Amino acid sequence: MNDHKVMSSVLDVDKIRSEFPALTRTVHGKPLIYLDNGATTQKPLQMIERVRKFDAEEYGTVRRGAYKVSEYSTQLYEEARQKVADFFGAGSKSEIIFTSGTTQAINLVAYSFGKQFVKAGDEIIISNIEHHANTVPWQVLCEERGAHLKVIPVNDEGELILEEYDKLLSNKTRIVAVNHVSNALGTVNPVKEIARRAHSVGARILVDGAQSSSHMKVDVQDLDCDFYTFSGHKMYGPSGVGGLFGKMELLEQMPPYVTGGDMIMQVTLEKTTYARPPARFEAGTPPITQVIGLGASIDYMNGIGMDNIAEYEHQLLEYGTKCLEKIDGLRLIGTAKDKAAILSFYLDCVHPHDIVTCLDQDGIAVRGGHHCAQPTMIRFGVPATARASMSFYNKTEELDALAESIRRTIKIFS
């Protein structure tokens, strides 16, 4: 295919790639083609250098010291919180809670919101295409509280069937938990409309933003979601940090998830009173360096522009889809009209784990397995898929190489 020059006009991809040291690696003597961005993203020099400078020259504890070093670290930490709030369109930085990532953020809501608002006989709604991190916490909550879990089905393209969602909603619905983008299929869910319908029956909504946060502009106030979760390592930031946006009116009513230092107002041997959010949900010493790094990664993405990122990645998706559709015996899993840059596929003659191994020999990194979404695999009648997930630093030439490597793999196993 010869669309390389047209696509390159959206972003200066060669310049962008030069800012990611890991992309210069070779694997089995071949240049690395990194197509596992749905699992984690590579890191830009801007973020790497910011973390190095902070650890080497500026590091100190936060919110605990009246001396200059601690005060400056606290200032940087809170500036990063403001960057996150601005990035997601939150009304206040106090609505941003730092966690270890999306998984902990969802568990925080399931525990704290569930403890405060969910009782026996209530109902919780998820979809059939959720990551296990947005399935298991709700199952546990239902078991503990005597609530019932309802599931929104999907059609053969991987789109939520909203008519069926409407049938599940009732005055017993307490919270709806859905992903913004399916990690296994790439489906972009209409979360603004899902939120509107949830609110119409008095329910709340949590949106799992792990797969959307670095690929499209997110405005939590426009979406009118009650909770939104994200992971730093999928946003070109450090591992071990992520967070939760929550509407303050809800956070103030929710009990703490983890207890300890710095989340209290006063402790006596008889009673403890808790700090207001976000401190109430950030017990102990937080991941200070990682938060600073997350702020730097947000600066980097803002420098490119989220609309530019979304446009370029959509072009990559269209190009890659055409490449894979031409391969005999390849079945794309997830063909929604509104998709992020994820290509999940299945070959009748080759197990996904073997596909991954063969592609690795050509220097191509993709993921194979159920992608922590076993109910999704069951719905589509496959044990697993291979998944190529793209970023703005990928090129069309890499997708050509992916298609050619898949063809070689088919020949090996045929």
- Cβ contact 38:102 at 8 Å: no
pLDDT in tens, 329-348: 999 999 999 999 999 999 99
For 377, the domain range is 4-43+305-409
User: Does 292 reside within a domain?
Assistant: yes
- Cβ contact 96:90 at 8 Å: yes
Q: CA 174, CA 61: separation in Å to the nearest integer?
A: 38
pLDDT at position 10, please? Answer: 82
Question: Is there a single domain that holds both residue 205 and residue 177?
Answer: yes
Q: Is pLDDT of 234 > 50?
A: yes
Three-state secondary-structure class, residue 254: coil
Q: Is pLDDT of 386 > 80?
A: yes
Q: Is pLDDT of 2 > 80?
A: no
DSSP string, 115-149: HHH--TT-EEEEETT--GGGTHHHHHHHHHHT-EE
CB-based contacts of 414, cutoff 8 Å, min separation 6:
349
pLDDT at position 64, please? Answer: 84
Residue found under tokens 């405060």: 116
Q: CA 158, CA 186: separation in Å to the nearest integer?
A: 9
Q: Is pLDDT of 323 > 70?
A: yes
pLDDT class of 6 with cuts at 50, 70, 90: very low
Half-sphere exposure for 68 (CA within 13 Å, toward CB): 1
Q: CA 215, CA 312: separation in Å to the nearest integer?
A: 10
- Strand boundaries in 258-321, DSSP class E: 264-267, 272-274
pLDDT in tens, 337-382: 999 999 999 999 999 999 999 999 999 999 999 999 999 999 999 9
User: Does 93 reside within a domain?
Assistant: yes
Question: Is there a single domain that holds both residue 231 and residue 364?
Answer: no
Question: Is there a single domain that holds both residue 170 and residue 273?
Answer: yes
Question: Is there a single domain that holds both residue 23 and residue 85?
Answer: no
pLDDT at position 5, please? Answer: 46
Last residue of a domain, one of 260, 288, 303: 303
Question: Is there a single domain that holds both residue 147 and residue 125?
Answer: yes
Look up the pTM and report it: 0.97
Which CATH number goes with the domain that contains 193? 3.40.640.10
pLDDT in tens, 101-128: 999 999 999 999 999 999 999 999 999 9
Residue 40 is encoded by which pair of tokens? 């984690």
Helix (H) or strand (E) holding 388: strand 385-389
- Cβ contact 89:221 at 8 Å: yes
Question: Is there a single domain that holds both residue 205 and residue 321?
Answer: no
Q: Given its phi and psi angles, is residue 307 left (phi above 0), alpha (psi -120 to 50 degrees) or beta? A: alpha
Last residue of a domain, one of 303, 321, 336: 303
CB-based contacts of 53, cutoff 8 Å, min separation 6:
none
pLDDT in tens, 46-56: 999 999 999 99
pLDDT class of 231 with cuts at 50, 70, 90: very high
Residue found under tokens 């119409």: 200
- Cβ contact 38:210 at 8 Å: no
pLDDT at position 9, please? Answer: 62
pLDDT at position 3, please? Answer: 52
Q: Is pLDDT of 184 > 50?
A: yes
Pairing of strands 264-267, 242-246: unpaired
User: Does 414 reside within a domain?
Assistant: no
Burial of 12 (0-12, 13-18, 19+ CB in 10 A): exposed
Question: Is there a single domain that holds both residue 32 and residue 53?
Answer: no
Q: How many domains does the chain have?
A: 2
Q: Is pLDDT of 4 > 80?
A: no
Three-state secondary-structure class, residue 168: helix
- Cβ contact 172:161 at 8 Å: no
Q: CA 332, CA 395: separation in Å to the nearest integer?
A: 20
Which CATH number goes with the domain that contains 18? 3.90.1150.10
Mean pLDDT of the 259-264 span: 94
- Cβ contact 383:354 at 8 Å: no
Cα–Cα–Cα angle for 6, 334, 177, nearest 5°?
115
Cα-Cα-Cα-Cα torsion 86, 91, 93, 98, nearest 10 degrees, comes to: -80
Question: Is there a single domain that holds both residue 375 and residue 297?
Answer: no
What DSSP designation does 308 have?
Answer: H
Q: CA 166, CA 178: separation in Å to the nearest integer?
A: 14
Question: Is there a single domain that holds both residue 170 and residue 312?
Answer: no
Question: Is there a single domain that holds both residue 35 and residue 72?
Answer: no
Q: Which residues are catalytic?
A: 372
Mean pLDDT of the 173-195 span: 99
Alpha helices in 98-251 (DSSP H): 102-117, 136-145, 162-168, 191-200, 220-223, 248-251
Three-state secondary-structure class, residue 327: coil
User: Does 157 reside within a domain?
Assistant: yes
Question: Is there a single domain that holds both residue 188 and residue 337?
Answer: no
Sign of CA dihedral 314, 316, 321, 322: positive
Cα-Cα-Cα-Cα torsion 57, 62, 64, 67, nearest 10 degrees, comes to: 30
Question: Is there a single domain that holds both residue 192 and residue 322?
Answer: no
| Averaged pLDDT score across all residues of the chain | 97
Type of residue numbered 384: A
Last residue of a domain, one of 284, 303, 322: 303
Helix (H) or strand (E) holding 331: strand 330-332
Type of residue numbered 239: S
